[in-house]
């Protein structure tokens, strides 16, 4: 059986916040509850452990995200998606998947990592590289000549053997020159990477990955996905509530409505 | 008429022997109504052997009924259960209330529904936005002319509010209409549409931002969570609907910024 590695990052802002810590905890638990049989690493700035009772196969790594300098904090934080590659030993793994902390596994994501490919990314439905949230590494002229989709920066699976190389490329594009002002930089850099790559790329399908708060708002659609990404919420509170509701309805719901009866006896 | 009036919400949960799906849904609905501090009374009519709440809730009355011996099984039971909405009148003393709201038990309240009782009308209903009343779920009792000319949406029979003194009249009329067999699905809902078309007295359509029907109208989740009431009609099996509503309930009432419950459960 091939072994896989999943990782996420939880960088907090402002200091003292535990918002991403909470989401990362929910994501990790969802992976465990769906019987993901790989290893999981969480890079985080909060020193509080995710679990008072450590979970097998889960490693927590505290990082110092440093000063964001002239960058907006979130641009600075997003870059850690690829910067942490130096801290990951991927020897012995078949595939490595990065997941934004606002993802939630509803089913085992193992099957998403099977197959003979180098890269799996998520193209946002009906998107175009020329849109503002994807385009800072694509000139106006180039964008006009293509119908290529924008790639969501919250999800990337890579064959472990080329993981470091791909992350270095992502980082190089991210911090390299751009034909337009930089914004949504990590996502735009990944879009550029996928546009240029000659690696065997296999995009995630909408049946595999749902974005309920943006592209897949119907419960009958997103509830069948293996993985959901809660990008697109109006507020952080909305996002957390949505994730919590989905988490409870997926993992704490049974035909006897046990938890409901305990809580509301 | 305003929210200071005496109001009643009724729901009906009929399960076949050995099943509790509707009972659980009713409990979720009532728990949600209580959490929104509904100012009126609630009546739950159900078939389950156990009470909805081991600790009785103030303002909530449970009436346990038995299914008739000849109640159908299988898919026909659903049709039977839906038609029981207009058989509940004898459990209600309408003189105690100003307005009465019926809510299908596959619903959950996300914020106060008190304001849905306000207004100068006798009957307030909810449209299945985007539908046409000629459709098979609404139009069974239309005349040929109405089929050709009506341009309105179908009315959902799962949520309505009316003046209490006209409650029995509505139930009786509904029952009379439905007595005539017609083709199509959801005969009780078709009969309710006929009733609304013929209703003598001021009617009101409750805004879709107040009562969301996400599985019927494909409403976006973001719109769903701002509604006062979410009705999961059309959302698959009772379990599918319960799971969806349970998620909304949890997100609304069990989630706080410290994620208290989550962190207790998942230490």
B145-182, pLDDT tens digit by residue? 999 999 999 999 999 999 999 999 999 999 999 999 88
pLDDT at position B37, please? 95
Across the interface, whether the CB atoms of B235 and A52 are under 8 A apart is answered: no
Phi, then psi, of A10 in degrees rounded to 5:
-135, 90
Contacting residues of A for B249, CB less than 8 Å apart: 245, 260
Among the ranges A66-80, A191-205, B208-222, which has the highest mean pLDDT value? A191-205
pLDDT at position A194, please? 98
pLDDT at position B123, please? 98
CA R_g for chain A: 18
Across the interface, whether the CB atoms of B28 and A219 are under 8 A apart is answered: no
pLDDT at position A13, please? 83
Name the minimum distance, in Å, from the CA of A29 to any CA of chain B: 8
Name the minimum distance, in Å, from the CA of B28 to any CA of chain A: 8
How large is the average pLDDT for residues A123-128? 97
Residues in chain B, pLDDT under 70: 1-5
User: What ranges do the domains of chain A cover?
Assistant: 4-264
Listed residue (B171, B235, B207, B238) closest to A253, CA to CA: B238
Name the minimum distance, in Å, from the CA of B39 to any CA of chain A: 19
How large is the average pLDDT for residues A13-20? 86
Whether a cis peptide bond, with omega within 30° of 0, leads into A14 is: yes
Kindly provide the b/e burial profile for residues B165-197, where b requires at least 16 CB atoms within 10 angstroms of the residue's own CB: ebbebbbebbbebbeeeeeeebbbbbbbbbbbb
CB neighbours of residue B225 within 10 Å: 20
The string of pLDDT tens digits covering residues A135-179 is 999 999 999 999 999 999 999 999 999 999 999 999 999 999 999
Work out whether strand B211-212 and strand A209-210 pair parallel, antiparallel, or are unpaired: unpaired
Q: Is the pLDDT of residue A119 over 80?
A: yes
CATH 3.40.50.720 fits A4-264, yes or no: no
Give the chain B residue nearest A212 (alpha carbons).
B221
Contacting residues of A for B51, CB less than 8 Å apart: none
């Amino acid at each position: 059986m091939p072994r896989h590695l999943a990782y996420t990052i939880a960088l907090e802002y402002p200091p003292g916040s535990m918002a991403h810590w909470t989401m990362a905890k929910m994501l990790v638990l969802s992976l465990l509850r769906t019987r993901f049989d790989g290893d999981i690493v969480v890079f985080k700035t909060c020193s509080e452990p995710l679990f008072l009772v450590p979970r097998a196969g889960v490693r927590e790594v505290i990082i110092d995200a440093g000063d964001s300098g002239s960058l907006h904090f979130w641009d600075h934080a997003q870059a850690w998606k690829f910067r942490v590659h130096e801290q990951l030993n991927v020897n012995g793994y078949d595939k490595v998947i990065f997941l934004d902390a606002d993802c939630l596994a509803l089913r085992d994501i193992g099957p998403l990592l099977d197959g003979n490919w180098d890269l799996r990314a998520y193209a946002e439905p009906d998107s175009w590289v020329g849109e503002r949230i994807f385009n800072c590494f694509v000139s106006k002229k180039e964008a006009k000549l293509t119908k290529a989709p924008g790639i969501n920066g919250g999800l990337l699976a890579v064959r472990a053997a080329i993981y470091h190389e791909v992350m270095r490329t992502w980082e190089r594009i991210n911090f390299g020159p751009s034909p337009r002002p930089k914004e949504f930089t990590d996502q735009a850099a990944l879009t550029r990477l996928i546009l240029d790559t000659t690696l065997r790329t296999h995009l995630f399908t909408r049946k595999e990955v749902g974005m309920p708060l943006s592209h897949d708002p119907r419960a009958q659609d997103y509830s069948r996905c293996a993985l959901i990404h809660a990008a697109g919420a109006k507020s952080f509170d909305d996002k957390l509530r949505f994730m919590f509701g989905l988490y409870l309805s997926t993992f704490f719901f049974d035909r006897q409505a046990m938890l409901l009866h305990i809580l509301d006896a | 008429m305003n929210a200071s009036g005496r109001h009643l919400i009724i729901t009906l949960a009929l399960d076949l022997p050995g099943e509790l799906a509707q009972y659980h849904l009713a409990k979720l609905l009532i728990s949600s109504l209580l959490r929104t501090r509904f100012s009126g009374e609630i009546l739950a009519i159900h078939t389950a052997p156990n009470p909805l709440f081991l600790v009785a809730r103030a303002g909530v009355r449970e009436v346990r009924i038995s299914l008739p011996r000849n109640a159908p099984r299988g898919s026909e039971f659903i049709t039977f259960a839906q038609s029981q909405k207009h058989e509940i009148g004898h459990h209600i003393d309408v003189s105690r209330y100003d307005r009465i709201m019926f809510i299908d038990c596959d619903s959950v309240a996300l914020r106060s529904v008190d304001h849905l009782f306000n207004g100068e009308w006798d009957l307030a209903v909810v449209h299945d936005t985007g539908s046409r009343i000629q459709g098979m779920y609404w139009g069974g009792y239309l005349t040929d002319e109405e089929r050709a000319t009506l341009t309105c949406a179908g009315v959902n029979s799962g949520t309505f509010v009316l003046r209490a003194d006209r409650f029995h009249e509505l139930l009786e009329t509904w029952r009379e209409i439905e007595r005539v067999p017609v083709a199509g699905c959801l005969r009780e809902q078709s009969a309710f549409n006929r009733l609304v078309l013929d209703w003598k007295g001021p009617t009101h359509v409750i805004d879709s931002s107040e009562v969301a029907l996400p599985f019927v109208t494909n409403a976006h989740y973001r719109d769903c969570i701002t509604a006062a009431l979410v009705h999961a009609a059309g959302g698959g099996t009772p379990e599918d609907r319960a799971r969806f509503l349970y998620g909304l309930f949890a997100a609304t009432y069990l989630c706080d910024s410290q994620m208290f419950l989550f962190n207790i459960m998942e230490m």
